[in-house]
Amino acid sequence: EIQPGEVVRIDANGYDIVQGAPPQPLAFCTFEQIYFARPDSLLNGKLVHQTRQKLGKQLAKESPAHADIVVPVPDS
């Protein structure tokens, strides 16, 4: 995984990672988990799909929907 401030330089000989800017502290962005990440990605060592399912189960407990089906609205 690329860390803050790192640049991946790719050429015909392969790639290397260089520090392009001073490192910054890591910060979690909740939009990454909900909107941007692929379901098969790992974030914080956990599969995004599993985390989203857990969030959905918790949401259903806290705010039950009286509907036949509930679906996400991508890029909303």
**Burial of 38 by CB count in 10 Å (0-12 exposed, 13-18 middle, 19+ buried)?**
exposed
Q: What is the pLDDT of residue 76?
A: 65
Report which of 55, 31, 51, 26 is spatially closest to residue 40, judged by C-alpha positions: 51
- 10 versus 25: the higher-pLDDT residue is 10
Taking the alpha carbons at both ends of the chain, their separation in whole angstroms is 27
Is 2 in contact with 16 (CB distance < 8 Å)?
no
pLDDT in tens, 13-60: 999 999 989 878 878 888 888 888 999 999 889 999 999 999 999 999
